[in-house]
Structure 1
Amino acid sequence: MSVTISSSMLQQLLRHAGASPDAEVCGLLFGTRDRIDAVEACENVAADPARTFEIAPKALIAAHRRSRAGGPAVVGHYHSHPSGLAVPSARDAAQAMGDAAVWVIIGGGSSRAWRSDEPGCFVEVDIVMN
């Protein structure tokens, strides 16, 4: 399994994460199951943004409305682990819905992609850059 993303978009995610060394950043991924065509940074409204993330509901609702109106499909999201690795945390697993969403996690200066095919579980997905 793999997901394709442009090197410039991946660099954009790494820069976003690097700009916030003390709090998790987050955003949405748009495209198809196998390809990320666009990314959108979102506000992290979590009560403890140093340890978790929550995409601002307004941003999430607006993205799904645009998708229903013919815009790009929301296929997942990204977030950072400022003091950790690019692997799902226990908190991430608790939030994983098993909806085949792509999770790009940035940590330790790198990024890795995961797919949640079952609630609470992740399978790593190769990132293919174009």
Structure 2
Amino acid sequence: MRLATPQEHQATPRPSQDGAADIETRNRAQAEAIHKAQCLVLYEDLASDLRSGLEAVASLDGELQHLLAQVTDAVGGSSAVAKDRVFPMFDRLGALHQALMEELRLLVVRQRLADDLASLTGGYVTLLQVIEC
């Protein structure tokens, strides 16, 4: 014997029992409205977070490309360059690269969060879908 999942149990329409079904239907509709509002807030926050992460990546990448051009200009075709001139640039390049990798790692984490959030709605039948059937 297979037991119903919580989503299946919640999605099962129940027969009217002296107005109790009306109260249950109203309570379910209110719970669904709250759930949808919370879900919308989570999606909006995640979208904002992803946009700021993408802006940070673009900014770091732009700064990295600019500094690489400066290093190329400083070194050029020279066989000898003063280390006090290029080492600070290399230090900054390393820091920029590390920051860029960290920001990209965070974008992957945010993507996984978005995937998990999207998977929470799978299989759930809303009250409106039950009424339409």
Task: State the TM-score, normalizing by the size of structure 2.
Answer: 0.22
Task: State the TM-score, normalizing by the size of structure 1.
Answer: 0.23
Larger RCO (CA under 8 A, 6+ residues apart): 2
Higher strand share: 1
